[in-house]
Structure 1
Amino acid sequence: MISIKGLTKTFTTSNNRITAVDDLTLDIKDGEIFGVIGYSGAGKSTFVRLLNRLEEPSAGQVIINDQDITALNSNQLRLTRQEIGMIFQHFNLLWSRTVTDNIAFPLEISGVPKQEREERVQELINLVGLNGRENAYPSQLSGGQKQRVGIARALANRPKVLLCDEATSALDPETTNAILDLLVDINAKLGLTIILITHEMHVIRKISNQVAVMEEGKIVEQGDVLDVFLRPEQPVTKKFVKQIMGSNGDDGAEELVNTYDSGKIVRLHFIGDTTNQALISQMARSFNIDINILQGKITQMQQGAYGTLFVQMDGEKAEIDRAITYITDETSVEVEVVRNVE
């Protein structure tokens, strides 16, 4: 368990004081992938650097495995940091060292014997998929390969926590997905806790279990990723959800709705396994109504899929009401009547 209590970081300039992280309190469970999302200036990168004291907090506590990181002296902190790996947006590799030597570097600092070091490096090269690139220098690697080196290096000392500060922001979409898949694989195989800092909702929805939304140094919304997608409360969260789903999946729906003059326009929310249900065909067979699909979208998340579908139900009012009652009472699909147009 990672327990963060009242964490604060204030920077003082010649003109004013800036509170980058403002009295932040948060618990993160062991073994989960926890996403922290915010726009530029939200304080998320400062927050993640406070967790291993690359930035010194102005106030508050960071407790990892019952150890107060903020209370450690420099020698204690150096040892504890071996249990907290970190990967960066711009890789931070040593350009004069090969892939093997970059991965081995933290092991050298820790005084690991040469044979053990070599065995560990080979394990990590296999884990991150860099076989055949052991003797390459960073200048000879693609962006995705550089980040794989960064991940392997961060895992060298067998950390219990992995901090990822915008780890995919410098990568193209295809490479981003490959790195995210690798992080999911590492989380499953090693059981370590991953804290993922990003400004991209795509990253959150693909691999995170929980998400915290930061704005002006504070957490303004937090919860299960699927719940946050379904019911975003804060304006900033709604903007992030729109990156993936559009305006809750209804871009252009208002124009579509206004073109129909009978029946009901209904928005259906499919969650998890319900996205695989043949609901529309079932409805058409079971009720004497016509169903016209207007617009829809489904996106995949770590906990399952989430989809929104707009349909027109046309027919006798009583029969339409029976169909809607059936969906509400007999399935886990959420129903919202957008417009009565009879």
Structure 2
Amino acid sequence: MISIKGLNKVFKTRDKSITAVDHITLDIPDGEIFGVIGYSGAGKSTFVRLINRLEEPTDGTINIDNQEITSLTKKELRVARQEIGMIFQHFNLLWSRTVKDNIAFPLEIAGTPKDKRDKRVQELIDLVGLSGRENAYPSQLSGGQKQRVGIARALANNPKVLLCDEATSALDPETTNSILDLLVDINERLGLTIILITHEMHVIRKICNRVAVMENGNIVEQGDVLDVFLKPQQPVTKKFVEQVMGSQEDDSELSFDNYKNGELIRLHFVGESANQALISKISKQFEVEVNILQGKITQTKRGSYGTLTVQILGDPKVLNETIQYINEETSIEVEVIHHAN
């Protein structure tokens, strides 16, 4: 368990003080992939650097596996950091070292004997899919391969926690997905806790169990990823969800000018309900015409979530019966966007 209480970071300049992280309290269970999302300047990178004390907190405590990181001496912190791996947006590799020597570097610092070090390095090279590239230098690697080296290096000392600070932001979409798949595989194989910092909701959607949304140094919203997709509460969260699902303002472009009878509704599908043949059922059961106008479905780690905007035409009484049927007989949520004139 990672337990953070009242974490605060204030940067002081000659003229003013800037609060980058504002008294955050947060618990992250062992073995979870926990996402922290926010726009530039939200404080998320400062927050993650406070966890391993690359930045010193102004106030607050951080406990990892019942060890209070914030109270450790510098010597004790060097030992504790061996159990907190970190990967970075721009890789931070040693350009004069080969792949295997980059991965071996933290083991050298820890004083691991050469035979054990060589064995561990080969295990990590195989784990991250870099077999055959052991003797390559960073300049000879693609962006995705560089990040794989960074991940292997972060895992060298068998950490309990892996901190990822915008680890996919410098990568193209296909490479991003491959790195995210690797992180999921590592999480499942090794059972380590991963804290993922990002500004991309696609990244959160794909691999995170839970998410915290940061704005102006505060966590303004947090919860299970699927729940956040379903019912985002804060304006900033809604913007992030729109990155994946599109804006509901698009509905304003849908017109009823050509129809006298009908309802414009948005259907929200969650989990198994995304597989229900709803349109076919109501078309057969009720005397209505259903026009599909727009839709989107996406996957989270906990299940599917999708929306479908449809126009249902027919007698007003039958329309009411149709909507009542969807509400009462299915697990699909109905949102009426526009009534017929």
TM-score higher than 0.5 here? yes
Task: Say if 2:220 is the partner of 1:220.
Answer: yes
Aligned to 1:179: 179
Secondary structure in 1 aligned to 2:323?
A: helix
Read off the aligned partner of 2:122 and give its amino acid letter.
Q
Contact in 1 for aligned 2:69/2:77 (Cα 8 Å): yes
Count residues in correspondence. Answer: 340
Aligned to 2:117: 117
How far apart are 1:201 and its partner, in Å?
Answer: 1.0
Read off the aligned partner of 2:39 and give its amino acid letter.
Y
Aligned to 1:263: 262
How far apart are 1:329 and its partner, in Å?
Answer: 1.5
Aligned to 1:191: 191
Read off the aligned partner of 2:145 and give its amino acid letter.
Q
Aligned to 2:242: 242
Mean CA deviation greater in 270-279 or 18-27: 270-279
Contact in 2 for aligned 1:35/1:195 (Cα 8 Å): yes
Secondary structure in 1 aligned to 2:254?
A: helix
- 1:215-250 CA deviation, whole Å, 9 max, x = no partner? 111101111111111111111111111111111xx3
Secondary structure in 2 aligned to 1:30?
A: coil
Contact in 2 for aligned 1:89/1:168 (Cα 8 Å): yes
How far apart are 1:179 and its partner, in Å?
Answer: 0.5
Alpha-carbon distance between aligned partners in 2 of 1:258 and 1:58, rounded to the nearest angstrom:
57
Secondary structure in 1 aligned to 2:15?
A: coil
Task: Say if 2:67 is the partner of 1:67.
Answer: yes
How far apart are 1:278 and its partner, in Å?
Answer: 1.1
Alpha-carbon distance between aligned partners in 2 of 1:150 and 1:30, rounded to the nearest angstrom:
22
Contact in 1 for aligned 2:261/2:315 (Cα 8 Å): no
Q: Which runs of 5+ in 2 are unaligned?
A: none
Task: Say if 2:331 is the partner of 1:332.
Answer: yes
Alpha-carbon distance between aligned partners in 1 of 2:180 and 2:206, rounded to the nearest angstrom:
8
Aligned-residue CA RMSD (Å):
1.1
Contact in 2 for aligned 1:257/1:265 (Cα 8 Å): no
Quote the sequence identity (%): 71
Alpha-carbon distance between aligned partners in 2 of 1:290 and 1:246, rounded to the nearest angstrom:
26
Aligned to 2:278: 279
Alpha-carbon distance between aligned partners in 2 of 1:169 and 1:148, rounded to the nearest angstrom:
14
Aligned to 2:88: 88
- 1:287-309 CA deviation, whole Å, 9 max, x = no partner? 22111111111122222221111
Alpha-carbon distance between aligned partners in 1 of 2:255 and 2:322, rounded to the nearest angstrom:
19
TM-score, normalization by structure 1: 0.97
How far apart are 1:108 and its partner, in Å?
Answer: 1.1
Alpha-carbon distance between aligned partners in 1 of 2:86 and 2:173, rounded to the nearest angstrom:
22
How far apart are 1:251 and its partner, in Å?
Answer: 4.8
TM-score, normalization by structure 2: 0.97
Read off the aligned partner of 1:243 and give its amino acid letter.
Q
Alpha-carbon distance between aligned partners in 1 of 2:331 and 2:159, rounded to the nearest angstrom:
40
Read off the aligned partner of 1:20 and give its amino acid letter.
A
Secondary structure in 2 aligned to 1:34?
A: strand
Read off the aligned partner of 2:162 and give its amino acid letter.
L
Secondary structure in 2 aligned to 1:130?
A: coil
Contact in 2 for aligned 1:84/1:161 (Cα 8 Å): yes
Aligned to 1:309: 308
Q: Which runs of 5+ in 1 are unaligned?
A: none
